[in-house]
């Protein structure tokens, strides 16, 4: 048995059927990050300025997800001021580090901001900034980025941090002399349940 589909144009809850029997609908597609921001579940995590003087890698950022939902790391950013370098800088992401003063000093980042200015939600996470000569140990290296001085890096990550998992970030500016100011930023959102 067949059923006739009737044109419901203008009713607000039925589909449009045109004279050639084509159904017309309208849909809106948004990205997960846009939906998360609209729901108050998207965040900007920024260390603020860190002055590095050493010629070796320093731990500069740590994030451990304490939310019941997975934390999706969309993008990473790194800014570096002008300095006297001997080589290109190296940024390393370390999956699930276990120790080091990056974790034990527990210095909150300068910015842990909800990306929806109208939301009061706060990310349940340990989000720490590092320091010159800061350490982080354990875990596994999971990404490497090269970066020049007096420049900004911005790249896609597509990393998921389930509850209890973490990421550490180190940066070696390969300084020949003097110092550089750096900051690291992670743009992230909670995955829709």
**pTM here?**
0.84
Write out the DSSP string of 56-94: S-EEEEEEEE-SSSPEEEEEEEEEE---EESS-EEEEEE
What 3-state DSSP class applies to 182? strand
More confident call, 82 vs 1 = 82
How many structural domains compose the chain? 1
HSE-CB for 133 with a 13 A CA cutoff: 2
Domain residues for the domain of 113 are 33-190
Task: Give the angle subtended at the CA of 90 by the CAs of 88 and 91, to the nearest 5°.
Answer: 145
Q: What whole-number distance in Å separates Cα of residue 99 and Cα of residue 60? A: 14
What the block records as the tokens of 144 is: 């490497």
At residue 142, does pLDDT exceed 90?
yes
| Within a domain: 63 | yes
With tokens 């998207």, the residue in question is 42
Residue 57's pLDDT band, with cuts at 50, 70 and 90, is very high
Q: What whole-number distance in Å separates Cα of residue 125 and Cα of residue 24? A: 45
pLDDT digit string (tens) for 64-110?
999 999 999 999 999 998 777 667 889 999 999 999 999 999 999 99
| Within a domain: 19 | no
Task: Give the angle subtended at the CA of 158 by the CAs of 139 and 175, to the nearest 5°.
Answer: 60
Q: How many residues does the chain have?
A: 193
| Within a domain: 24 | no
| Within a domain: 179 | yes
At residue 2, does pLDDT exceed 70?
no
| Within a domain: 12 | no
Q: What whole-number distance in Å separates Cα of residue 98 and Cα of residue 96? A: 6
| Within a domain: 152 | yes
The CATH number assigned to the domain holding 149 equals 2.60.120.680
| Within a domain: 140 | yes
| Within a domain: 8 | no
């Amino acid at each position: 048995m067949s059923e006739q589909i009737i044109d419901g144009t203008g009713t607000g809850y039925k589909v449009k059927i045109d004279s050639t029997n084509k159904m017309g609908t309208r849909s809106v597609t948004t990205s997960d990050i846009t939906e998360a921001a609209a729901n108050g579940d998207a965040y900007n995590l920024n260390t603020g300025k860190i002055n590095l003087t050493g010629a070796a890698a320093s731990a500069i950022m740590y994030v451990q997800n304490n939310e019941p939902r997975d934390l999706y790391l969309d993008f990473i950013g790194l800014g570096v001021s002008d300095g006297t370098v001997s080589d290109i800088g190296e940024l390393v992401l370390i999956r699930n580090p276990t120790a080091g003063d990056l974790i034990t000093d527990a210095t909150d980042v300068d910015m842990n901001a909800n990306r929806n200015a109208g939301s009061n939600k706060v990310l349940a996470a340990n989000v720490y900034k590092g320091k010159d000569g800061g350490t982080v140990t354990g875990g596994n290296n999971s990404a490497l980025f090269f970066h020049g001085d007096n420049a900004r890096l911005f790249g896609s990550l597509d990393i998921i941090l389930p509850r209890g998992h973490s990421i550490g970030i180190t940066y070696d500016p390969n300084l020949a002399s003097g110092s550089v100011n750096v900051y690291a930023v992670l743009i992230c959102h909670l995955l829709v349940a």
